[in-house]
Structure 1
Amino acid sequence: MREGEYILETPLGYRKDYGQFFTPSPVARFMAEWVMADDPSSILDPAFGLGIFYDEIKKINPNSNFQFTGYEIDLRILDFVGLNGRERNLKIINDDYLQAERASYDAIICNPPYMRFQKFITRHDVLPKIEQQIGQNLVGYSNIASVFLVKAINELKRNGRLAFIMPFEFFNAGYGENIKKTLLEKFLLKQIIVFANEKDIFPDVTTTVCVLICQNDGHADAIKITRITNNEEINQISRIGDFYQFQVNSSDLPCYSKWTPIISAFFSPNQLPVDFCQLSFYGAFTRGIATGANDFFALRKSTIEGWNLPEDNLCKCLTKSQQVKTAIFTEGDFLRLYHADQPVYCLDVKDRKNPRIINYLKTGEKLGYHQRYLTKTRSHWYKIERRNPAPILFGVFSRGRLKVIRNLTTAINFTCFHCFYPNIFGEPLINKLFVYLLSDMGQNILKANKRSYGGNLDKFEPGDLNDSLCPNQTQFALIEEREALGVIELAAMDEKLAIDASNLLMERILNG
């Protein structure tokens, strides 16, 4: 439906505000074929958009007497489409589907909006209404797409069919647990479709997506796992239900487990080593310090000198991910950043009565920093969390190799990094843990728990890292401490050589 023309006419910021990205015709076609297989009388699209699903359904059965209902909150896109009232079997409702009264449909097909639920202005009104309709608590749901799916599932008639595009991250996120539980316990989920070369198929997508194929027939069928590599492959599929590489029982997909590593393992030639333990056995990753006003709390040399801020009210701090470009961060690296006037100190108020501190805080209050979301919730708005320097830092976002840093300084860090704090078991193994995280094997195993956001951008929450697997104590004993220190020394000079050296040490564990 003239998608290219709409994109050219509509600013990107506007489309992002409405969470709009459009379904490619080949994908819409196989989704439409699935929901039309039993010749439904009533069809719902909760996020009509440009009407691609309606177009594909008409092609499949142009003479059918089905009634197609589409919800679309964006009047601009409806004006662009210009279909309402011109199609006998189409009813478009210019309203928010999430606020609509509960109904029931033979078929539901949807590419829901993609935005964080926190950006949804009417969420406080929407959630209680949906919770009452479905009898389920939705607190903690962080993506509107997931709420669309929950509501749609509860409006699917007996034997009805559903095809939904979803962000892949819900497989791993906490808010996805209840959704997965519903899909499994009601025997709804029939097939999961993932895409190997997503940008070739979804060129405008901003997050990694999958397609869920469901039917409300109450049959405990094996769940099909499908991976599609390109549009040519889609065009060769006659029936999506017949195209799959693996089948699993619902028991193989526990609702409280992360599904990404389970699904990825089917298509990975690498098997996980035996007897590995969870990383949390050795300690815990936690997020960095959230100040609520980094531009106020992060201090440069010039700022410190200009305000003559006392040294005992400052602490060393990494405030931006790009400040660390190598796997080893030393005091010498810190000093170079400081003298380059990078913001590598943090305000840490200990002497509230110091006149220089008073003046700096007053200036911050004049600029409204004390009224920010986080700062205004504190008893003293300028008091940040107390943290010790972490020996290992991990980049929250990454493309390609994951950013793992052996921190040899006394610097703490903001939320640009997650911090690993070892326990009594991890403390003597900290260098070996770093070697493992630096190695290709460690990186690949960690990536099984990643959250993908399109464009090869990966994100990790602390829990994702803590749940990852790593060698047990006996396996780490196969590596000598001097060898781990040798990798660290090498990483300070040549990271590629250090990675090669860490790979050799990991091979010893694999072969041990």
Structure 2
Amino acid sequence: MYKDNYIINTPISYRKKYGQFFTPSLVASIMAKWVIENQPKTILDPAFGLGIFYEEISKLNLENKWHFTTYEIDKNILNYLDNFQNNNNLTIFNQDYLASDINYYDAIICNPPYMRFQKFINRHNILPKIEKQIGKKLVGYSNIASIFLIKALQQLNLNGRLAFILPFEFFNTGYGKEIKKTLLEKYLLKQIIIFANEKDIFPDATTTICILLCENNQTKQDVKITNINSNQEIQNISNISDYYHHKLTNYQLPDNEKWTPIILSLISHTTIPEGFCKLSDYGTFKRGIATGANNFFALNKTKIEQLQINDNNISLCITKSNLVKKAIFTDDDLQLLIEQDKTIYCLDIKDNNDTAVINYIKLGEEKAYNQRYLTKNRQPWYKLEKREPAPILFGVFNRGRIKVIRNLTTAINFTCYHGFHPNLLGNNLIDKLFIYLISDLGQEIIKMNKRSYGNNLDKFEPGDLNNSYCPSMQQFDLINEQETTQIIKIAKIDEKKAITMSNELIKQIIKH
């Protein structure tokens, strides 16, 4: 009841500030049963929230005496916890867990806050302390949840158990590599629980999540993979250790590789066809130009004329994802956007002695654009990264089908798209690669490397795309130029028909 009251009375902006989303009791129950199986005497919850884990453990009637220690930074949320205040086996610290001293526990259970580490105000003071505590550098960590996990693992007693909710993207990130290495080398990771329909099970979630179950028993075991589809399925699980669908050895989960495609290949029907190679064999996906101040650098025709900036200091540029509506982006489409006065140019200074440019730079400095995070670290601050026009553009964020654009113009692009830049081998395969990327199979295989953020929102980094699979040169050779040209022509006017034709073509080359 107090959970409902808290959510009703607390603005979502406030909950997002503290990275709060709450664990459903069914999920909390299976986590609680896991961590108390070895009869722990000391239990830690680094992020108490509304106390669901304490409640679930209390229901289990442990035979031994136990004490529950927890941290909660938000004073507002503690006001809803009056019913916990007089419990002798509970200690609540109203402070940040990451700033706390290292103590050791028989069991640790946690749904950590979900926010980017860059938004964590005290990170510069706390990071050095945590690094000293755990003996590791934490450069590049971008999510608070991962910092909670790596500290908690340090605090787990011998034979202690840990259950942790984490964003599923953790398995694909660079900062996750060191944590995965620790989990494997110390034989801590015992089970990964995946939720196929997280919105049904975690209605408050803002990211696709999973659960890690760990045990510090120093015993090498296969990692169990569990795929849960519904609340009804959770209700029927008596012991989560016995409920799994696959097992993976440590060798099948290399710490230097992305785990998402490995895990998803077990629980999905998508497999990599024989003979496929990496997309990186044909070129490289790069992120678009990061300006640090799009409002300053993105220009339309009217503004350029008002500022009197000459053509030598501007470039054609796709500054927003929604500027491109069709799968084939042509010069005619570009010209229409120019006539509609869309921001289809960017400032690209080649002559900084030009009077109009000097005046515009001064205007930018008056508005403090030069003091933003990216701009203040550039010399000079208004100098953009160099990018050539990319013949294939790939949507960074996607819902449902991935947005893939065949760019037939000379426009460069901002970070709304990743651009594919072919090598010598890929130069002659651009249209065939595009056909593969819009096909259903191509989309499914690319999505094996996605980073999921809930609400069916998927994100891709350039490395995710470069490590994806596509047909080999020999397989692409089975597609003749006439078929390729026909599909490109159709895609200009009927994308659905082009996708259907692409599907048939890709099926044919796989059968050979």
Q: Deviations over 1:439-483 (max 9, x none)?
A: 111111100000000000000000000000111111111111222
Deviation at 1:84, TM superposition (A): 5.5
- SS of 2:191 mapped into structure 1: strand
Q: Does 1:30 align with 2:30?
A: yes
Distance in 1 (alpha carbons) for counterparts of 2:290 and 2:269: 39
Distance in 2 (alpha carbons) for counterparts of 1:232 and 1:9: 30
Distance in 1 (alpha carbons) for counterparts of 2:375 and 2:85: 51
* Contact 2:72/2:97, CA 8 A, preserved across alignment: yes
Aligned length: 512
Deviation at 1:151, TM superposition (A): 0.6
Distance in 2 (alpha carbons) for counterparts of 1:78 and 1:159: 32
The aligned amino acid for 1:6 is Y
Structure 1 partner of 2:306: 306
Q: Where do residues 161-310 of structure 1 align in structure 2 (5 Å cutoff)?
A: 161-310=161-310
Q: TM-score, normalised to structure 2's length?
A: 0.98
The aligned amino acid for 2:272 is L
Distance in 1 (alpha carbons) for counterparts of 2:212 and 2:87: 28
Give the gaps of 5 or more residues in structure 2.
none
Structure 1 partner of 2:423: 423
Structure 2 partner of 1:68: 68
Deviation at 1:338, TM superposition (A): 1.2
Structure 1 partner of 2:154: 154
Structure 1 partner of 2:86: 86
Q: Where do residues 248-397 of structure 1 align in structure 2 (5 Å cutoff)?
A: 248-397=248-397
Structure 2 partner of 1:434: 434
Q: Which moved more, 1:20-29 or 1:56-65?
A: 56-65
Q: Which moved more, 1:129-138 or 1:105-114?
A: 129-138
* Contact 1:431/1:481, CA 8 A, preserved across alignment: no
Deviation at 1:178, TM superposition (A): 0.9
Deviation at 1:62, TM superposition (A): 6.4
Structure 1 partner of 2:399: 399
Structure 2 partner of 1:104: 104
- SS of 2:86 mapped into structure 1: coil
Q: Deviations over 1:383-424 (max 9, x none)?
A: 111211110110000000001100000000000000110001
Deviation at 1:351, TM superposition (A): 2.1
Q: Does 1:464 align with 2:456?
A: no
Q: Deviations over 1:18-49 (max 9, x none)?
A: 11000000000000011111211000000001
Structure 1 partner of 2:45: 45
Structure 1 partner of 2:140: 140
The aligned amino acid for 1:153 is L
* Contact 1:319/1:414, CA 8 A, preserved across alignment: yes
* Contact 1:46/1:72, CA 8 A, preserved across alignment: yes
Among all aligned residue pairs of Structure 1 and Structure 2, give the percentage whose two residues are the same amino acid.
60
Distance in 1 (alpha carbons) for counterparts of 2:374 and 2:269: 45
Q: Does 1:490 align with 2:482?
A: no
Q: Which moved more, 1:420-429 or 1:300-309?
A: 300-309
* Contact 1:48/1:70, CA 8 A, preserved across alignment: yes
Q: Does 1:450 align with 2:450?
A: yes
Q: Which moved more, 1:77-86 or 1:240-249?
A: 77-86
- SS of 2:363 mapped into structure 1: helix
Deviation at 1:197, TM superposition (A): 0.9
- SS of 2:7 mapped into structure 1: helix
Q: Deviations over 1:175-207 (max 9, x none)?
A: 111111111111111110001111000001000
- SS of 2:79 mapped into structure 1: helix
Q: Deviations over 1:293-328 (max 9, x none)?
A: 101110112211222221221110000001111110
- Please, what is the CA RMSD of the aligned residues? 1.2
Deviation at 1:118, TM superposition (A): 0.9
Deviation at 1:340, TM superposition (A): 1.1
* Contact 1:302/1:341, CA 8 A, preserved across alignment: yes
The aligned amino acid for 1:189 is L
* Contact 1:84/1:91, CA 8 A, preserved across alignment: no
Q: TM-score, normalised to structure 1's length?
A: 0.98
Give the gaps of 5 or more residues in structure 1.
none
Deviation at 1:83, TM superposition (A): 4.6
Distance in 2 (alpha carbons) for counterparts of 1:365 and 1:133: 42
Deviation at 1:276, TM superposition (A): 1.0
* Contact 1:84/1:92, CA 8 A, preserved across alignment: no
* Contact 2:271/2:445, CA 8 A, preserved across alignment: no
Q: Which moved more, 1:249-258 or 1:284-293?
A: 249-258
